[in-house]
Amino acid sequence: QLSRRLQLVATYVPKGAKTADIGSDHAYLPCYLCLTDETATAIAGEVNEGPYQSAQSQVRQSGLTERVSVRKGNGLAVIEAQDGVDVVTVAGMGGALITTILAEGKDKLTNVSRLILQPNVSASTIRLWLDQNGWTLKAEEIIEEDDKIYEILVADHGENKSLYETNKEQKMLLGPFLMDECNEAFQKKWTYEKINWERILTQFEKATETVELKEKKEELKKKIEMVKEV
Ligand code: SAM
């Protein structure tokens, strides 16, 4: 049974897509995509030997060796121009690592139309990169599973200037679609973050002030205010 988190990622993959799942571990997502859509094909990319082996055996066990290609390599380097990949998924990593993978493999994204990204932390780093690199956020999800909160960002190639026209910083931090929806998982995540920042701020207040500390305090206060507003 695929996790609800990866099932939700899968709902954003169009029928018949050729998907490259980067950091695929057991290749659960590529196998699920191909088992639920007979017109789908996929690449499972892995940089580490253990997860690469797991992905290979999962694909074999699922009888999908003709449709899921398991490849060993760093990030988007496993994608070749002739693969015709139209969707890239990267799930279960930090936002900074996902952003590095996209930035380092930028030339592999020219013909990709959709990115589905599931950061465990720092989704804001990804939102900023997408906005600066010609990708438009189309949808966002936030869910709680096994006591963890996950965000999913869906972006399509092309610019949309209007998305961050107002309150840009706040939308980058919280997510424009997630802010509007303001569901239970969203409220839980940001209530927790706010309490945590307030705790840090109290500690900072007790310390001797330096220019650096002052800046950090201002930054925290700003973020607390942005969360309070929603
Ligand atoms: N995507 C799966 C999921 O969401 O359940 C697996 C997530 S697992 C926590 C992260 C995987 O990404 C690991 O198997 C790791 O080896 C792989 N990984 C980390 N950095 C990578 C990179 N630069 N290129 C390819 N795979 C990478």
* Per-residue pLDDT reduced to its tens digit, 76-89: 999 999 999 999 99
> pLDDT at position 162, please?
85
Question: What's the gap in Å between 195 CA and the centre of ligand 1?
Answer: 30
Distance 25 CA to ligand 1 centre (A): 6
Contact 193, 151 (CB under 8 A): no
- The conformation of residue 183, written as its DSSP 8-state character, comes to -
Ligand 1 atom nearest 100 alpha carbon: 23
Atom 11 of ligand 1, nearest CA residue: 23
Q: How far apart are the C-alpha atoms of 80 and 147, rounded to whole Å?
A: 38
The CA-atom distances, in angstroms, between 228 and each of 190, 192, 194, 222 are 9, 12, 8, 10
Residue 22 Cα to ligand 1 midpoint, Å, equals: 7
Residues with CB under 6 A from ligand 1: 6, 22-25, 45-48, 51, 74-75, 91-93, 101
Give the residues across from 71 on adjacent strands: 45
- The predicted pLDDT at position 86 comes to 97
113-137 per-position pLDDT tens digit: 999 999 999 999 999 999 999 999 9
Ligand 1 centre distance from Cα of residue 169 (Å): 29
Residue in 3, 8, 22 to alter for ligand 1 test, most ligand atoms within 8 A of Cβ: 22
The overall pTM is greater than 0.90: yes
The ipTM (two decimal places) reads 0.99
Name the CA radius of gyration of the chain, rounded.
19
State the pLDDT at residue 174.
Answer: 98
How far is Cα 136 from Cα 21, in angstroms, rounded to an integer?
20
Q: What is the pLDDT of residue 159?
A: 79
Which stretches of the chain drop beneath a pLDDT of 50? none
